Structure 1
């Protein structure tokens, strides 16, 4: 671990953890782009310098110097070995900001995965059995996660495996106290005993309830939300809902809220939500029982809203929204793959390039140098392809008249950031650090670009020189290198309506 190389030094210029450019080196790791940001940390796609071919990893950098949460994450991840928990690959401090490096998970959050593929009861039973096994491994080493929720579970796109992430609120026997503002975790997922501690309703010195039994209850709330698309007691007003939880009352069973939920699975979820900690099963019991039950669980989808035309509304609005999200999931995954491939090419070309001669020769380049230049050109093309794919996704969205995004989850169900979640509300741009620094932009062409959509242009796009363009609200000239300047605004072109294939992702309703 690199502890003190930069400790106490000022962060130079634009080197704050929240806005590091692609190419920045954090100790032994090179950042390839910012992935997502939360209240306490920022996650970057990264590779290890000198071992780029080993593949990508997730580097989470704390927003505040000396933040103890990342130390907790390192301490707990270093103790747990389980296929559904990301592997710890490194950690340290950079200019006083703690960081942790873990296995990269190319996936989406559990709640988003449910919306995208409308899983069957058997799929969910299998997924919950895997999560229970991961939590059992955490509890076996005397640890507790203490922030089990849908947003801290990622479903890997490659194989549908759930991955338990974000151990920053975790603890283990003998761990130093976590001195941060407010208790760790998310109140919507608190067990009754932990809710009482959160509201200062326990006598002095009483246990806070933030242990393995609280994790079990948190998994129960997570499963309830997965199966019903809502939280327990949401039919009640907030104050009444809190009182019901404090009294240890049980909510309506999942199969009563959603008839598509298998009764046996619903019964296990209710056991997880038992009022008294000693009445809840252990995670090993849950993992074994659900592993056996999955073979006899029906394969019918949990929800009817994807296949019931009466509930889709005019114009199949829900189907359009899903197609848009699927498109962005693919675009973001391919963008990340292109970034990693480009970095591998760049690093290999750099290692193979001969040292520059003095003075520089005017003779033709050495064969190795020609090969290195060719690799650098291919790497640059990979970046440009990623940019074009994301711009295409944006154009398809506008041209398809996709409805406004669904309401965001309750703000109380937030505050931490996962290590590989694929954010969907807006596509990101793959821009090299050099283009971000130059900020020169491109001149508006006098005729449409190849493949650009022409009039009539649908709002918010506008017609300029025979092509459809959309203004970038947050930019004004000088524009970034992939944008076009015109009349003191920066614009992106709207491409044609073609869409990339989504064969390896969940089918949308219109494709079934």
Structure 2
């Protein structure tokens, strides 16, 4: 992560002030800002606040965040307490925001008494939905995820980090065609837009409230199952036979013992059609009503449940049980044969299974996908209950020349990069490991600009 060294206060922050705020301690650092716990330098006693200081001079993200937060007054959104600029020794100006101090743990680290029930999950998710309802009256958050939710010990949840927000009339901050965000939480509409971008589209994606709702569904799915749902991609993006098909979306109840009402609401938020997801206000009301009901299933602790993969073969009568001793050796021989075939092929680069993204620039990590589900299906047939192995192939090496159908140099439109005679689009802020169908070049991720006609543009971000 790059940052401006002169943006940091001295080594002993408790001995300095930023504006009229006395720094008490360093809290943490993200992609664009460093956070301190502060108090007013002159007024005592007074409440503790969080001061978010930009790492880059004149960062306009802070003005955006200030503009949106100044319009919000909601118990599940941090209150704006002040704003200003800190001037370093070279005269550079670094904007800062002072926000309500929020106690609590990141969402996925918060589990009451070691057990989470469906009723507790509904109450928590309803609070986040209410925060989004207030936000959507003016704009969109664009980075709803577990790391941006803080939960107090009493279950009070707060939606944080509006630095990626957008609202009508906001100026574009970058030349990127994709809005900021974190990869597993991106909506199907945004993924399909990115697919068209690879095929020659020159446009900007306009984020909508429905994108935040989808991210809320991903967050809910991850909360109760401890895994991310597979990404929903456009079939048009899968016409290459070398690309793997996306895994089928299993209901949360296939992975964990969640109450039926919570199961339905999560799947609704993950609907492919944006209009089927419902608004934040509608979802919040349904969650609150469900949490207030007396259904016994709501108070059962959420625990892992066997994953039932319903296939055509599974629905047919199986072989007689007395055949099992004969089938096991045959299965092992078949698997060994597969290993020999795979060993004779070039070995793809493999990386560790995906973990929760932090407050870093958007990453291209993906949950195990169809590979993980396939491994689980094979493991279930092996004696001894061998667990699933999640492997993820990563990016391709940059070819020595243009690929078939790729636009060739000169690369005229802004944002294109010429590499080995071909025109490429660089994934802003994305670092290897790249996605499976992306290309890696000198520490960055690229996809080819295809030689096709220009499609109509949408609003800038």
TM-score between the two structures when normalised by the length of structure 1: 0.53
Gapped runs of 5+ residues in structure 1? 1-10, 306-406, 418-512
Residue of structure 2 in register with 1:25 after alignment:
17
Question: Which of 97, 103, 112 does residue 100 from structure 1 map onto?
Answer: 97
Residue of structure 1 in register with 2:68 after alignment:
76
Residue of structure 2 in register with 1:183 after alignment:
179
Matched, 1:46 2:38: yes
Give the whole-Å Cα distance in 1 for the aligned partners of 2:226 and 2:25.
32
- Cα distance, 1:114 vs structure 2: 3.1
CA distance 1:111–1:289, shift in 2 (3 Å):
same
Give the whole-Å Cα distance in 2 for the aligned partners of 1:47 and 1:104.
10
Give the whole-Å Cα distance in 2 for the aligned partners of 1:53 and 1:145.
33
- Cα distance, 1:55 vs structure 2: 1.4
Contact 1:135 1:283 in 2 (8 A): yes
Residue of structure 1 in register with 2:331 after alignment:
none
Question: Which of 149, 154, 158 does residue 150 from structure 2 map onto?
Answer: 154
Residue of structure 2 in register with 1:256 after alignment:
254
Residue of structure 1 in register with 2:137 after alignment:
140
Give the whole-Å Cα distance in 1 for the aligned partners of 2:238 and 2:227.
18
Taking the TM superposition and a 5 Å limit, the aligned residue runs for 1:278-317 are 278-296=275-293, 297=295, 298-303=298-303
Matched, 1:124 2:124: no
- Cα distance, 1:412 vs structure 2: 4.5
Residue of structure 1 in register with 2:325 after alignment:
none
CA distance 1:15–1:168, shift in 2 (3 Å):
closer
What are the superposed Cα offsets for residues 465-490 of structure 1, whole Å, 9 maximum, x if unpaired?
A: xxxxxxxxxxxxxxxxxxxxxxxxxx
Gapped runs of 5+ residues in structure 2? 88-92, 306-351, 363-461
Give the whole-Å Cα distance in 2 for the aligned partners of 1:239 and 1:279.
17
Taking the TM superposition and a 5 Å limit, the aligned residue runs for 1:386-425 are 410=355, 412-415=357-360
CA distance 1:175–1:302, shift in 2 (3 Å):
same
- Cα distance, 1:248 vs structure 2: 9.4
What are the superposed Cα offsets for residues 363-417 of structure 1, whole Å, 9 maximum, x if unpaired?
A: xxxxxxxxxxxxxxxxxxxxxxxxxxxxxxxxxxxxxxxxxxxx99736454179
Give the whole-Å Cα distance in 1 for the aligned partners of 2:275 and 2:10.
43
Q: Secondary structure at the match of 1:22?
A: helix
Give the whole-Å Cα distance in 1 for the aligned partners of 2:217 and 2:225.
12
Contact 1:193 1:209 in 2 (8 A): no
Question: Which of 160, 165, 170 does residue 165 from structure 1 map onto?
Answer: 160
Residue of structure 2 in register with 1:16 after alignment:
8
CA distance 1:285–1:15, shift in 2 (3 Å):
closer
- Cα distance, 1:117 vs structure 2: 3.3
Q: Secondary structure at the match of 2:158?
A: strand
Q: Secondary structure at the match of 2:173?
A: coil
Matched, 1:221 2:218: yes
Give the whole-Å Cα distance in 2 for the aligned partners of 1:149 and 1:246.
26
Contact 1:90 1:101 in 2 (8 A): yes
Backbone CA RMSD of aligned residues: 3.4
Give the whole-Å Cα distance in 1 for the aligned partners of 2:244 and 2:136.
25
Greater helix fraction, Structure 1 or Structure 2: 1
CA distance 1:285–1:61, shift in 2 (3 Å):
same
CA distance 1:304–1:268, shift in 2 (3 Å):
closer
Count matched residues: 299
CA distance 1:207–1:180, shift in 2 (3 Å):
closer
